Structure 1
Amino acid sequence: MVNAQPITLKDMVTYEKQSNFIKEFKIPLTERGLKGITTDTLGNAWFYHSTFNSSTIVRLEPIVMKFTQYSVPGKTVVDNAIINLAGGQLVFDNDSNVVWFTDARTNSIGKLDVKSGDIQLVSIPTPKAGPMGIVLSPDGKSVWFAEITGNRIANLDIQSNKIIEYPVIGSASSSNNNGILNNQDNGPTFLTFDSKGVLWVTLSYSSSVLRVEPWALVPNSSTMGMSPFTLAKSETFSPFGIAVVDYKAGSQQRMYVSDHGSSRIISTDAGPNLLLQSYLSYWTSPSQVYPTTLPGQIVADKLGKAIYFPEHGGNRIAKINVDSGQMTEYDIPTGPLSTALFTAISGDGKKVWFTEWASNKIAYLDTTIPVPLTIQVPGYYNINNNNNNNNTTMLLVLKRNAPKILDVVLKTDNNNKTALEASSPSTPQSLLLNEVGLSLVGMGESGIAGINYTAQPQRIDMEKNSTANSQIALQVENDENNSRIIRTGQYTIMVRATALENKDNNSLVSLLYPVQIMLDVPAPPINQQQPQQTYPNNISNNYQVPVNGFFDFTSLGGILRIFPLLVAIGLIAYIVYRRIERSRKTTQQHRPQER
């Protein structure tokens, strides 16, 4: 028997491709420690790098390819687990020409003066707070940040450098206190302001999103000015990144939340009466090596027309067009797991920057390069679509023995070329359009469950056609042998078109369009037990993961399959540890009184 070889970083980074859309930069630091990133008004990228012994802010001037490093002073005052958990984030303050950042290693908020290069640290009152997300207030007078292990949000007054903290609460449905609001270990992670001045915070540990009215907050109180929300359905939900945009001419707001324990983005109306009660799941394409794609931080452009996010386990950068509802995915050139989690968008919206932990690179998606292909599903639209059409059907209802047809329209625009392509008619476009593939993904973690489908045609030559039509026939599986239980309910399927880049024919660009369906099937008999198996994924594509046993520690696939479980165990252990610490402190405080 051959001894198993240990997994190394080399297994995560085995190739480096070329891309028409993404440009990567190797950083001048050898140790792994890349986390957050931001941009300034000159188009420079600023990113955070941290190890147990040091933390560094680095500026990249991409035009001249110059890196400048700024060492963060101060001793390490927390455990390595907190440093690894709390990803240091940055935000650029244009009014003061300052970069603000969270530094878990020193348990402080940092202020880097761009002109002088000086760094000033402001200590956070709560020890081992694990500062994570950071954002400027709308008036520019304060900086707000989340404490993922301190279970607080806080604001730092820029003029006085004074920090005020507010403990956060999770939703009653996510607590273990019989409906009592949970105020411990909620894991505030990222935060953002909407156009009305409301602050929104993701609570990763309590499956909640927190709505905060800053003007109503009371220091050290978690009951005033805060309202937690969670999904109406009893689903697993790990909120991470968040963005809120105005749409329908500013009359409504739309929220996008990444479900970091899953493969989807949640899209919902941001109104207090509708928040997370009716929502759309944007399912990403299945990962090549990871059981879930783990969507990360979310950023929106200034006009609120598009949101962007990295797929931590999917090794892609994705965009959702707020108006059309179409999602576009771009393969990251380095892989199979460059570990992209954090992102930022330039002020002009032309570059979406992100960091790659495993490959020690930073990179950007060039948003000015159009994808010369669009996908439409006439007759059906989703709750995220802004088009008002009274003749449009909201749901596609599927019943047994009653097949339904989805009409899919693909369109190309010969004018959608880069500047170089436009100047030379003989230059090929950014994508190879001679064999565009059509398929379905989504519906759940295990893919399309309980539905068979066929696409005619499944592959389309869009080089010869500016418009092409295809039909997808859907039918609910029969259960005559009772081998599967198909449950009635509302789901989201994603109609997907894929094309290869012309620069590297192993890199895909995928277009996905969400369609809501309703499975209307008879309920299974009460005495029928659900079989111990998952629904098969009926999609044949290039993303299938070989199964060699779940607890396989000898291969990259095995490690990646158990990684979410290991992370969950680690977080639970940390929470238990904190509760034991609190219990000990409480006991010590009460002992003198008991005597």
Structure 2
Amino acid sequence: MKKQTKGILAFAFLGGIMVTSGVVIAIPGLAPDEDNPELTITGTPADNFPDADRPRFCGSGNAQSTDFVTEYSIPTECTNPLAIVTDYDGNVWFAQTNTGKLAKFDPKTETFTEYDNPTWPQNGRSMMWGIDYAPDGSVWFTDETFDSVWKFSTIDERYDRLGYPSEGDSLPQRLQVDGSKIIINDFTGNKLTFLDPNQSSDDVNYLSIPSPVDDSVTADFTVDAENNVWFTNWLFQQGGVLVKFNQNGYFDSVANSNEQLLPLLDFIEIYQLPVQLLTPNGAVVSDDGMIWLADTTSSSFFSFNPVTEEFTQYVTATPLLSTYGNQTGVIKTPISRPYWIDSDDQGRIIFNEQNANNISVFDPKSQSLVEYHIPSKNPYWGDCDPGTGLMVSDCGLAQIFDFAVDGKKIWFTEWVENNIGVVDTSVPLPFEIQLDSETMSLSPGDSKEFSFILSSKSSDKVLGGTLILSPTRDFLNVELAENDSESFQLVTGSAQTIHTMISASDDAITGEYKILIGTQSSDIAVSKYVTVTIE
């Protein structure tokens, strides 16, 4: 029961229970169980769920595709795929919540191989949030239910389980192979753990570094070019801090002093998070040294400049109505929930938007954002039931909890649709956004006209969609001119000029802010950021 409770709390922290504000989705252990739920034995992992819960967790339809996204159905029913990584040959590896197995997908042959885990308990389930591929051909992944770190040798196809130090309420979460170490954040145990990957499962030594903020969670981490580890400590809905840990200095001092632990404060720097950033789960450092954080209780992601010590907030497009449904009308402010975040070899920032069913690509150089909509949706994870017991088609979420960047391809898992998929970022975009200007200055209470050109790049079809006009702060506003409409259609090769008015309220705060300008169709959103300076 303790483990089940721990998993539920973590799921809530990470944004998994709340689809949007005001809508709670039932998960095992959260709502009271029926006295005798009907359970049809199938001999598959679906047997871990009563019949009534199977559509919610095992999938609601077949794999789908768009011009930009291709999905593949996992042959075994109801595996709940979660953490995902690619190897040096382009193979895709992912862990299965509902089976304890690791699986491989070969993109060349489009075939799956699932590797039985002989030591996994019968009917065992675990959220496996972290995974990485090591140079020796092994795949490492975390397991929160059984407080474990697993090593799978892709050469001899053998699993080794390493017990994780579980003092208190531990939850081994994200994992990264970093040279001669493996780094793991303990989400509820409030520490970073370092593991030597060359140890045997019979003799495991961990070094756990306590986080500087008591009673907080320790979220995702990233390692910069100087080997500093950056991570966040935060309290649910109360904000927190960004921490820089000088691991080279720490471990060198430990070696020279013959002490196993030294005072952490001598080797860290702490930066207060902005009040707008409440739940920073994902973290990554880009090639220019900027730290990027994904905020799971909003529609925002943030950059942090270690030189100026300044944060910049960016906003995503509002989720499509098809993701949340809103059949009851209770969802007043849908949010996208950026979750994990990564970077690619082009310096672009990649993140998943859990509540918008998107994989998104932000280019800091061009200040452009492309949000790829994933076609599969599970209606049991949205407000999609009109009250008749019949589910609305094309509504809901696939629960895209993890992704892996491999060149111009982004692989991802669909936790409740039993699929994996890939975004091909090399496919030409159907729209182009040309801004009148990339910057604007306003005084509090002022307004200025702003125009942009929306062009069709498609060669064979009429394009339609809706405009994106999204400020990051409430004291900024973007309104269309009287004769312009939020929806549009463009024929092949045509363009349309959009006229808007950008204004700042009387209580606008001095500083630089971002406004997202663009367009969104059923498959993709293409936008650019305007930098507004309040003087």
Range class of TM-score, shorter chain: 0.7 to 0.9
> How many angstroms apart in 1 are the aligned matches of 2:514 and 2:279?
19
Q: Contact 2:471–2:477 (CA<8 Å) still a contact in 1?
A: no
The answer as to 2:519 corresponding to 1:497 is yes
Partner of 1:239: 280
Report the Cα offset of residue 238 of structure 1. Answer: 0.6
Once structures 1 and 2 are overlaid, which stretch shifts more, 186-195 or 200-209? Answer: 200-209
Alignment of 1:187-586 (within 5 A): 187-205=217-235, 207-217=240-250, 219-220=260-261, 221-231=263-273, 233-247=274-288, 253-269=289-305, 271=306, 273-275=307-309, 277-288=310-321, 289=324, 291-304=334-347, 306-335=348-377, 336-346=396-406, 349-381=407-439, 395-397=440-442, 399-400=444-445, 402-411=446-455, 428=459, 432=461, 434-435=463-464, 437-444=466-473, 452-454=479-481, 457-458=484-485, 462-463=490-491, 465=493, 468-475=496-503, 487-488=508-509, 490=511, 491-498=513-520, 500=521, 507-517=522-532
Determine the C-alpha separation between the residues in 2 that align with 1:409 and 1:212.
45
Q: SS where residue 341 of structure 1 aligns?
A: coil
C-alpha contact (below 8 Å) 1:203/1:240 kept by paired residues: no
| Equivalent of 2:151 in 87, 105, 111 | 111
Structure 1 residues 440 and 303 mapped into 2: Cα distance closer, same or farther (>3 Å)? Answer: closer
Q: Report how far residue 378 of structure 1 moved.
A: 3.8
**Shift in Å at residue 14 of structure 1?**
6.0
Q: Which runs of 5+ in 1 are unaligned?
A: 171-181, 248-252, 382-394, 415-427, 478-484, 501-506, 521-595
Write the distance in 2 (CA, Å) between the matches of 1:207 and 1:31: 37
Task: Write the letter of the residue equivalent to 1:368.
Answer: S
Separation in 2 of the partners of 1:326 and 1:155? 36
**Residues 93-116 of structure 1: CA deviation (Å, up to 9, x unaligned):** 1x2011111122332221111111
Question: In terms of mean alpha carbon deviation, does 21-30 or 487-496 score higher?
Answer: 487-496
The code of the aligned residue for 2:481 comes to T
AA in 2 matched with 1:337: L
Distance 1:434-1:46 versus aligned 2 partners, 3 A rule: closer
Deviation digits for residues 133-172 of structure 1 (CA, Å, limit 9, x no counterpart): 11121xx2221111112211111112335443333435xx
Residue 122 (structure 1) aligned with residue 162 (structure 2): yes
Cα offset for 1:466?
A: 6.1
Q: Which amino acid aligns with 2:525?
A: S
Contact 1:436 1:462 in 2 (8 A): no
SS in 2 for 1:154: strand
Give the match for residue 589 of structure 1.
none
The alpha-carbon distance between structure 1 residues 88 and 70, as it changes in their structure 2 partners (threshold 3 A), is farther
1:530 aligns with none
The structure with more strand, counted as a fraction of residues: 2
Contact 1:256 1:267 in 2 (8 A): yes
2:447 aligned partner, one-letter code: P
Structure 2 partner of 1:64: 109
Q: Secondary structure at the match of 1:339?
A: coil
Equivalent position SS for 2:94: strand
Alpha carbons of structure 1 residues 213 and 303: separation in structure 2 relative to 1, 3 Å = farther
Shift of 1:318: 0.8
Q: Is the 8 A contact 2:186 2:218 kept in 1?
A: yes
Shift in alpha-carbon separation, 1:364–1:18, aligned structure 2, 3 A: closer
Determine if contact 1:441/1:496 at 8 Å carries over to the other structure: no
Q: Which residue of 1 aligns with 2:3?
A: none
How much has 1:486 moved relative to structure 2? 5.6
Which residue number corresponds to residue 50 of structure 1?
97
Structure 1 residues 229 and 168 mapped into 2: Cα distance closer, same or farther (>3 Å)?
A: farther
The secondary structure found in structure 1 opposite 2:248 is helix
**Deviation digits for residues 417-437 of structure 1 (CA, Å, limit 9, x no counterpart):** xxxxxxxxxxx55xx554464
C-alpha distance in structure 2 between counterparts of 1:344 and 1:183, whole Å? 32
User: Which residue in the other structure is 2:214 paired with?
Assistant: 183
Deviation, 1:200, is 1.9
8 Å contact from structure 1 (residues 208, 229) kept in 2: yes
Which position in structure 1 is the counterpart of 2:85? Answer: 38
- In structure 2, the gaps of 5 or more residues are 1-24, 27-51, 255-259, 325-330, 378-395
Contact 1:183/1:222 (<8 A) preserved: no
- Judging changes above 3 Å, is the alpha-carbon distance between structure 1 residues 487 and 75 closer, same or farther for their aligned structure 2 residues? same
CA distance in 2: counterparts of 1:102 and 1:355, whole angstroms = 16
CA deviation after TM superposition for structure 1 residue 91, in Å: 0.6
Contact 2:457 2:493 in 1 (8 A): no
Q: Counterpart of 2:194?
A: 155
Q: How far has the Cα of 1:10 moved from its partner?
A: 4.3
Paired amino acid for 1:327:
L
Structure 1 residue 287: Cα displacement? 4.7
Quick one: which of 88, 93, 117 aligns to 2:129?
88
Deviation at 1:255, TM superposition (A): 2.1
Q: TM-score normalized by structure 1?
A: 0.66
In structure 1, how many angstroms separate the alpha carbons of the residues matched to 2:409 and 2:475?
34
Q: 1:207 aligns to what SS in structure 2?
A: strand
TM-aligned CA deviation for residue 324 of structure 1: 0.4
Tell me the equivalent position of 1:173. Answer: none
* Structure 1: distance between partners of 2:80 and 2:488: 43
SS of aligned partner of 1:246? coil
Report % sequence identity. Answer: 20
Is residue 430–residue 457 contact of structure 2 (8 Å, CA) maintained in 1?
yes
Conservation of the 8 A alpha-carbon contact between 1:264 and 1:284: no
Q: Is 1:146 aligned to 2:185, yes or no?
A: yes
Change (3 A) 1:204 1:345: farther
Q: Which amino acid aligns with 1:274?
A: T
Give the deviation of 1:216 after TM superposition: 2.2
Q: Any idea what SS the aligned residue of 2:524 has?
A: strand
CA RMSD of aligned residues (A): 3.2
Structure 1 stretch displaced more, 366-375 or 107-116: 366-375
Q: Secondary structure at the match of 2:198?
A: coil
Kindly state the Cα deviation for residue 350 of structure 1 after the two structures are TM-superposed.
2.5
The 8 Å contact of residues 216 and 224 in structure 1, kept in 2 or not, is answered as no
| Counterpart residue type for residue 290 of structure 2 | R
**Match in the other structure for 1:27:** 74
Q: 1:189-224 deviations in whole A, cap 9, x for unaligned?
A: 322222232222233545332212211225544324
